[in-house]
Amino acid sequence: MSNAAYPLGRTAYLLVDPYNDFLSEGGKVFPLIKPIAEQVGLLDNLRALDRTVRSLDIPVVIVPHRRWEKGDYENWDHPSPSQCKIQHMHHFARGEWGGEWHPDFAPKDGDIVVSEHWGSSGFANTDLDFRLKQMGVTHVIIVGLLANTCIEATARYAQELGYHVTLVRDATAAFKPEMMHAAHELNGPTFAHAIVTTDELIATLAQ
């Protein structure tokens, strides 16, 4: 890979929260994103991107949310609304099926799994920035769930830290069309350097 848009050795593929609860039938959150996931072809697009980035030796970095454990958030002064939902619904519970990786997107040999994020940003209070900088990464492609929460927060933080940020509008999903619209048409253009479709990104990477 030698194109200027995504330079070899300086680009990483960040896959956020590829849990069964988000991506698999029977997952606790999947029913809420299923209409949009099916509309945009989320799973097939993530599979296509996974094949492409691996064929080009682009590092795959798994950016996981905190897996719920008994006692989480109970003594917190002000957990966020999302954290309160996780506390009550036990999303991504550690040791349970919902907190396991979707089988198509489980880490493979050589992948990097960074420390779990408690909030929305994959950078806040984790080792993500440190690991990327140690690899010399300057460009990040951010996909996964959810478009208007963890993806947006991680991408905003990445831009603040000086990374070139790419969002992939059909390699993510949200609860409502309005949330997808806000993520890609209203908010994303204020911080992302590129907002593309899966096909557009694959075509660019293949140049």
| Whether residue 205 has a cis bond before it, omega within 30° of 0 | no
pLDDT at 69 over 50: yes
pLDDT at 197 over 90: yes
Mean pLDDT of all residues in the chain? 96
pLDDT digits (tens, 9 = 90+) for 49-61: 999 999 999 999 9
pLDDT attached to residue 2? 44
3-state secondary structure of 71: coil
Tokens 């994103």 locate to 33
Report the C-alpha gap between 97 and 101 in whole angstroms. Answer: 8
Q: Report if pTM > 0.85.
A: yes
| Cβ 128 vs Cβ 112: under 8 Å | no
Say what percent of the chain tops pLDDT 70: 99
What average pLDDT does range 186-191 have in this prediction?
98
Say what percent of the chain tops pLDDT 90: 97
- Give the pLDDT band (50/70/90) at residue 3: low
